[in-house]
Amino acid sequence: MSYRDRFSRSLQRDEIYLACHSLGRPLDRTAADVQRALDYWYEMMDDAWGPWMAEVEIFRANIARLIGFDHPRWVVPKTSAGQGLRAVLNALMGPNVPTVVATRGEFDSLDFILRTYEAKGFIQLRWVEPTTFEAGVPLIDTAQIIESLPSADLLVISNVFFTTGQLLDVGEVVCEAHRQGVKVLLDTYHSAGVLPIGMSKLDVDFAVGGSYKYTRGGTGACWLAIHPNHGGLRSLDTGWFAKKEPFSYARPNPPEYGPDGDSWMESTPSILPVFQAQAGLEFTLEVGVVEMRQIGLERLGVLRESFKAERVPIFCPQNPEKWGGFALLPHAQSEIVCRTLKTRGVNADARGGNVRFGPDLLTTDDELRRASKIVAEVIA
């Protein structure tokens, strides 16, 4: 089934777009949704809060469906995944400094926040290094993660690592972490929308993610999901929207928190990103995450075969289903390669010494064949 008519503006660009793993292509409807949010403001002024907050509830429900979470009211809108991490870290503060385990594969934002908390003495930090390799690509070993868990309070791990695309066996790690009394925060930024997650089935304590990539929702439309078992936790990251009745302006002491995930809200929320994200979320749910995964694997298969035909040394994993939504070209000058490719009409990106190529359901076989020829010429 073709969906190209819903992306007419995005497809006007004269390039082969292979950075869908970085910034998703927006639907035509996205602009109308943002305009709808503004229209409420123009036409209703302060009464716009009614339809605005109704849209927030739709956003929460759609995120819950996206990640397989049975508790939409425990999805909390955030403006970044890092904001969600900070909320969790600040909820764990107490008389004892918490110990946090994280891998070297975490995204820069989460990595930087963890390092900052460690430098301030707010946490003790334990790193898990990559220990094995597949065709030169470093891998995070679940056994090494598990070995690092004793006496920890929180484990921060990615479902799919952003530099390599490695898909982690989260279930085994979460089970062992819980056996040892360790909470788990899962970064789903490179999995939500491109492969099934099943957060409730995994029994993850916390998850963060955003709409910037695979659900085509742009910046600022992020979220934190909290297992209801942790409803008693209170974060220092708070504000008047976490109150029991924000618009009553009551000031009881001690504070009275709102129900469920509302207690993790902060100050006045950003509304436009919620509207901005809805078209992409609903499109992803319409197609289906399982179907999106199958389409993604098929597109990546065509991409890898096209590159191999041009003798481009693309990384071809032994089991593609254990990898995320993009392919890797290891290259010592990956950033230069990317800049050169862009001048030739191929849009990709570079991370950690790899050129990353992320097709989507709009990417045609012809585009992949033409891209492979251009890449072969650039790296020759």
Read off the pLDDT of residues 199-215 as tens digits, 9 standing for 90 and up: 999 999 999 999 999 99
For residue 374, the number of C-alpha atoms closer than 13 Å in the C-beta half-sphere is 22
Output b/e per residue, 277-290; b: 16+ Cβ within 10 A: bbbbbbbbeeeebe
Which band of pLDDT confidence, cut at 50, 70 and 90, is reported for residue 370? very high
Q: What is the pLDDT of residue 1?
A: 65
- Pairing label, strands 183-187, 206-210: parallel
Residue 40 has pLDDT above 70, yes or no: yes
> What DSSP assignment string belongs to 163-213?
TT-BBP-HHHHHHHHHHTT-EEEEE-TTTTTTS---HHHHT-SEEEEESSS
Q: What is the pLDDT of residues 77-126, one digit of tens each?
A: 999 999 999 999 999 999 999 999 999 999 999 999 999 999 999 999 99
| Residues 29, 27: Cα–Cα separation, whole Å | 5
pLDDT confidence of residue 228: 97
pLDDT (0 to 100) of residue 223? 98
Task: List the structure tokens of 321.
Answer: 């289903």
Residue 62 sits at φ, ψ, to 5 deg, of -65, -40
Query: What is the structure's pLDDT at 2?
Result: 78
Beta bridge partners of 154: 100, 183
Distance of CA 10 to the CA centre of its chain: 21
Q: What is the pLDDT of residues 231-247, one digit of tens each?
A: 899 999 999 999 999 99
Distance CA 146, CA 155 (A): 10
Task: Please give the mean pLDDT across all residues of the chain.
Answer: 97
Q: Give 168's pLDDT tier (boundaries 50, 70, 90).
A: very high
